[in-house]
Amino acid sequence: MADPFIALQHLLPRHALTRLVGRLAASERGWVKTPFIRSFARAYGISLEEAERASFADYESFNAFFTRALREEVRPLEGDDQTLVSPVDGSVSQLGTISEGTLFQAKGNRYRLDELLGCRDGTAAERIAPYEGGRFATLYLAPSDYHRIHVPRLGTLIRSTAIPGTLFSVNGRTEAGIANLFCQNERLALEFETDQGPLAMVLVGALIVGSIETVFGTPPSPYRELAQSTHRQTFTRGSEIGRFLLGSTVIVCTGPAEPPWRQELRAGSRVLVGQSLTQALKGPA
C-alpha cells in the first residue's frame, strides 16, 4: 500500500502552500509573529540559550527567529584549516562513497551527481569526474535546529547553480518512498576549489521551505529557471554562506583525496557546525 503521507503530498499545491507560509513567516505584525514564534518554540522545545538575542520579543519576524544567529563561542571549529567540518547543525541521514557518478538515497535507491548539481550544459562528465571515488554526507536539519549554513573548509566558490523543482518534504519517509527525491526538489548547488580537491554543497529546498538565501546573492526562490553563475570568491572555514527560511537538507560531496568520514558517524548521528566530519590525518612518524 502506498504511504498516505507521500500520497497526500502529491495532491497538495506544494509551491502555493509554501509561498503562503512564507508570507506569514516574513510578517512583522505582532499579532502574526508573536503567537507563531511562541507556539513553534513550545512545540519543538526551542531554547534561546545559545542565541545572540535571548528573548523571543527581540525578533522582528518568525523568519528572523528561525534564522537566528548563535553566539560565536558556542560553535568552535575543530582541527586546522584543512579539517572538513560540519556546515550545519543536524543529523546524518546517509553517508557513503560516490560510485559511478551516483550517491545512495535509501532502500537501494541511488541518484546521479550530475543531476543533483544541475549539469545541463554539456560539461557534466568534466564536472563530476573529480568526485568519483569521493564521499558524500546527507545532513538533515530538523525544525528545531540552527538554520544558518557555514563553509566546511577554506575554499574558493567557483560556481553556483539555482535549480528549479518541486517541493516534497525531506525526511526518512520521503527519502525511502520517493525515487530521485533530491534531484526532484528545488535546490542550490555550490561548488568550491580547495587544497584537498573539489567540494560541493547542495542546499535542498522542501515543502514549507520558503526560501534559500546566500551571502553573495542568488536568484530569489522559488527558482523559475536553471541559473548558473561563476565566482572567484574565497571563504574562510566556518564562515556563513547562507540560510534556510524553514529547514531542509544539505548534501556535502568531496573528492577521493579527502580523508574518510569519522568512524563513529553513521545514519542518525548528531552533528553541529564546526565539528570535524573526517578522520584526522596522521603526520610523519
Active site residue ranges:
89, 150, 248
Alpha carbon of residue 276 to chain centroid: 17
Helices 14-26, 30-44: axis angle to 10 degrees equals: 110
Could you tell me how many residues make up the chain? Answer: 285
Q: Which three cell numbers stand for residue 241?
A: 554562506
Reported as type and span, the H/E element at residue 110 is strand 109-112
3-state SS, 126-167, equals HHHHHHCCCEEEEEECCCCCCCEEECCCCEEEEEEEEECCEC
Q: In degrees rounded to 5, what are phi and psi of residue 167? A: -140, 70
Return d(Cα 140, Cα 238) in angstroms, integer. 18
